[in-house]
């Protein structure tokens, strides 16, 4: 019984890791798209005003919020792959990147100079600039490949026809998947790091960009799982080839 479980462990572990990866990737894709805590707390970047900046009192004096009851320190913009969320005085509003007009008109998002209404410091515009750079295409492609891989690995776990061909496809897809999401993870890491370093000095340190730790942890967890899955599929495929060679090898 123990030998049977050890023998089947790589297959079952592969199925489990691929399933978990799909779930995590879907959370990353849908982050900041809905007001639910499960999604609004998954964001790539968060922008807010720096209350410890030496220019912060000047901004408060020179600019007036659309809503006088709001304060700069309570204003945050969270950016995801498909949406954004505005957090202001405990109130959370989320919208897709294609419908940012709802967030732009949200009270307290933009700061208007009382002497020059055309002069605005808008966190939504700043966040949308990053959203236009960080595209979700690699993430979507990884999800599609992971779903295909999940069904193929599940297929190869049963005595069904075309098992060798399916195992070969599993190796190709899993290796492609780990390379693809490895690229996506590095691009996300570099993009967020660059924005974090640029936004502060460019705004005279009046705006802070914070990397979403939950999203970043999910990103590299999926990459790790994909790497384990790729090694597992290669191991299962090579073991299958050795077993087939032993069966057809003539014995004297």
Question: Percent of the chain having pLDDT more than 70?
Answer: 75
How far apart CA 227 and CA 62 sit, in angstroms, is 52
Q: How many CB atoms lie within 10 A of CB 235?
A: 13
Which tens digit of pLDDT belongs to each residue from 134-154?
Answer: 789 999 999 999 999 999 988
pLDDT digits 0-9 by tens, 153-177: 888 877 778 888 888 899 999 999 9
pLDDT of residue 104: 57
For the range 175-179, what are the long-range contacts, defined as Cβ-Cβ under 8 Å and sequence gap of 24 or more?
175/230, 175/234, 176/145, 177/142, 177/145, 177/146, 177/149, 177/226, 177/229, 177/230, 178/223, 178/226, 178/227, 178/229, 178/230
Q: Decide: 25 and 18 in contact? Cβ < 8 Å.
A: no
19 vs 7, 25, 173, CA distance in Å?
20, 10, 15
- Residue 115 has a CB neighbour count (10 Å cut-off) of 7
Question: How would you write the pLDDT of the chain (252 residues) with one tens digit per residue?
Answer: 444 444 566 678 888 999 999 999 999 998 888 788 888 889 999 988 888 888 777 766 655 544 445 566 677 888 889 888 888 777 788 877 766 655 555 544 455 554 444 445 667 777 777 877 778 999 999 999 999 999 998 888 777 788 888 888 999 999 999 999 999 999 999 989 998 888 888 878 888 889 999 999 999 999 999 999 999 888 888 877 776 666 655 554
């Amino acid at each position: 019984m123990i030998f049977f479980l050890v023998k089947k462990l790589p297959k079952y572990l592969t199925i489990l890791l691929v399933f978990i990866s799909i779930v995590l990737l879907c959370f990353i894709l849908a982050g900041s798209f809905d007001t639910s805590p499960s999604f609004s707390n998954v964001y790539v970047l968060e922008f807010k005003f720096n209350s410890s900046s030496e220019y912060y009192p000047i901004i408060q004096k020179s600019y007036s919020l659309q809503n006088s009851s709001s304060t700069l320190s309570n204003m945050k913009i969270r950016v995801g792959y498909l949406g954004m969320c505005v957090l202001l005085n405990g109130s959370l509003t989320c919208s897709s990147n294609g419908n940012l007009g709802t967030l732009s008109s949200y009270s307290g998002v933009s700061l208007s100079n009382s002497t020059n209404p055309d002069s605005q410091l808008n966190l939504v515009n700043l966040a949308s600039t990053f959203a236009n750079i960080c595209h979700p295409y690699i993430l979507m492609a990884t999800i599609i490949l992971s779903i295909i891989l999940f069904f193929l690995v599940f297929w190869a776990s049963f005595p069904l026809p075309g098992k060798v061909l399916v195992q070969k496809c599993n190796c190709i897809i899993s290796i492609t998947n780990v390379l693809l999401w490895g690229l996506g993870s590095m691009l996300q890491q570099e993009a967020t790091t660059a924005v974090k370093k640029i936004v502060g000095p460019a705004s005279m340190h009046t705006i802070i960009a914070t990397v979403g730790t939950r999203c970043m942890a999910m990103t590299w967890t999926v990459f790790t799982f994909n790497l384990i899955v790729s090694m597992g599929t290669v191991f299962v495929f090579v073991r299958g080839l050795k077993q087939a060679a032993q069966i057809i090898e003539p014995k004297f």
